[in-house]
Amino acid sequence: MSYNIMSSKAEDFINDEEILETLEYAEAHKNDKALIESILNKAAECNGLNHRDAAVLLCCDIPEMNKKIEDLAKEIKLKFYGNRIVLFAPLYLSNYCINGCTYCPYHGTNKHIPRKKLTQDEIRREVIALQDMGHKRLAIESGEDPKNNPLEYILESINTIYSIKHKNGAIRRVNVNIAATTVEEYTKLKNAGIGTYILFQETYNKKRYEQLHPTGPKSNYAYHTEAMDRAMDGGIDDVGCGVLYGLGTYKYEFVGQLMHAEHLEAAKGCGPHTISVPRLRAADGIDPNAFPDGIDDETFAKIVACIRIAVPYTGMIVSTRESQKSRERVLALGVSQISGGSRTSVGGYCEEERPEDTTQFDVSDRRTLDEVLKWLMEMNYVPSFCTACYRAGRTGDRFMSLVKSGQIANCCHPNALMTLKEYLEDYASPETKKVGDALIQKELLTIPNPLVRSRCEQYLKEEVNGKRDFRF
């Protein structure tokens, strides 16, 4: 097996030898100021970096160059995402799972955790609670169990979620994080109107992967790693990748992650829509300290900055696994999407008290959505619930070309302001509304196109009078 970016075989496009050579090269040049300077100059053109150059930046240990890396990441973040931060919430449908993932409380041999699967009525109640919080975008999560959570259950649940319109509420985009499956089943998901198909690689290191996945269908490394290819073959345009940092050595995972993105771009014509950067967290029967490759906040921030520089057009997601402090740090460096007011138990949004019995991981950021929005706006970020591109068919390579040309900014900012205004009118606390309305007035002036600005202003007025769902 040799490295082949175009191959459909996992061990070719995520080639162990290529990763090890890349890391050797990066280690050998981590103090090579001239090389690092030239890589930063190339990256400043905003066309991204290949995994080798990006690895040199990740390994760089020259403080002044690391400062330049951070500054460039911030610059690229502002150029493509401005000060907008997209919000979503996870909804766990079922924790029945037949896999044996040693880092997840849902693994099939965990007899301690109560098993739960939401009925369609329960999903209805959860979605109404999420809509009453102000959410418009969900990521549904489920264990892998063909008997308890067959694809039909997932498809019916997606349909239920889209069908609920409570007061001014609506879930306008449903992203799906379920196990690797067949091209035919991905086509069914596509036809059900999903947004992004999300699948975490967990680790790109095959040997480590097989240690962590001793049983169940997920133990097949190649089938799991080639899932995004099958998803795109099934017609899904937007895919979301990610590794679980703390399972394998972070430098190996970083290079694997970028090679996967390069492969999808080269072989399928479009890189990942999003990259998530979760870190292993405590959970029922799971002690992160038992895993030797945990990373500290500084290393985590460096990874985020280097991914931002390497793949400028790919959204980056951080969940409530991260604390407020850690999220604040990585928002500036590259993160464009966060969850807010999350419950990682199966259901649980209808309950006053946060249920802890079926959680997939311990949540660090336990604030309400309203608190998260006020916090973002006080840092001059514009919270966005925008789903316009997905609903206008601006997905996959069509979306990427708009991002690369910068045209998308004419849509993103006014759309963010209008979805924020909906939140302020329907769900915000008085304090959050006050901060939000002032921010919208200020941000309106930053919309470059005068026609778009005046139409956006008009739509905002109509939202005060009760109209909803404007978008460019």
Q: Which residues of the chain form contacts with ligand SF4 (CB under 6 A)?
A: 97, 99, 101, 104, 106-107, 143-144, 179, 218
Min. distance of Cβ 179 from ligand SF4 in angstroms? 6
CB nearer ligand SF4, residue 144 or residue 262: 144
- In terms of C-beta distances under 8 Å and separation of at least 24 residues, what long-range contacts does 112-115 make, across chains too? 112/284, 112/285, 113/284, 113/285, 113/357, 113/358, 114/357, 114/358, 115/148, 115/358
CB nearer to ligand SF4: pick between 30 and 218: 218
Question: In angstroms, what is the minimal distance from the CB of 114 to ligand SF4?
Answer: 15
Helix (H) or strand (E) holding 176: strand 173-177
Shortest Å, Cβ 246 to ligand SF4: 13
Question: Phi/psi of residue 467, each to 5°?
Answer: -70, 155
Q: Which residues pair with 89 in a beta bridge?
A: 138
Decide whether 205 or 419 has the Cβ nearer to ligand SF4: 205
Would you state the structure tokens that stand for residue 173, as one six-digit string? 């985009």
Q: Taking the complex as a whole, how short is the minimal distance between the CB of residue 104 and ligand SF4, in angstroms?
A: 3
Nearest distance from C-beta of residue 178 to ligand SF4, angstroms: 9
The rounded distance, in Å, linking the Cα atoms of 127 and 116 is 17
**Between 108 and 193, whose beta carbon lies closer to ligand SF4?**
108
Secondary structure of residue 156 in the 3-state scheme: helix
CB 250 within 8 A of CB 291: no
For the stretch 200-203, contacts whose Cβ atoms lie closer than 8 Å and that sit 24 or more positions apart, written own/partner, are 200/241, 200/242, 200/243, 200/244, 200/276, 200/278, 201/225, 201/241, 201/242, 201/243, 201/256, 201/257, 201/260, 202/101, 202/103, 202/243, 202/244, 202/247, 203/243, 203/244, 203/247, 203/248, 203/253, 203/256
Q: Return d(Cα 470, Cα 472) in angstroms, integer.
A: 7
H or E stretch including 463? helix 450-464
- We find the least distance from the C-beta atom of residue 304 to ligand SF4, in angstroms, to be 23
CB of 216 to ligand SF4, least distance (A): 7
3-state secondary structure of 274: strand
Q: Which helix (H) or strand (E) holds 140?
A: strand 137-142
Q: How far is the CB of 143 from ligand SF4 (least distance, A)?
A: 4
**82/242 with CB nearer ligand SF4:** 242
Question: Which residue's CB is nearer to ligand SF4, number 218 or number 251?
Answer: 218
- Half-sphere exposure at residue 8, Cβ-oriented, CA atoms within 13 angstroms: 8
Give the Å distances, CA to CA, from 137 to 90, 299, 390, 419: 9, 30, 11, 11
Q: Which is nearer to ligand SF4, 345 or 387 (CB)?
A: 345
Q: Which is nearer to ligand SF4, 30 or 321 (CB)?
A: 321
Compute how many other C-beta atoms are within 10 angstroms of the C-beta atom of residue 45: 9
CB 152 to ligand SF4: min, Å: 19
Bridge pairing between strands 137-142 and 84-94: parallel
Query: Helix 51-59 and helix 297-310: axis angle, to 10°?
Result: 150
User: Smallest distance from the beta carbon of 144 to ligand SF4, in angstroms?
Assistant: 5
Q: Which is nearer to ligand SF4, 240 or 396 (CB)?
A: 240
- Nearer CB in complex with ligand SF4: 359/387: 359
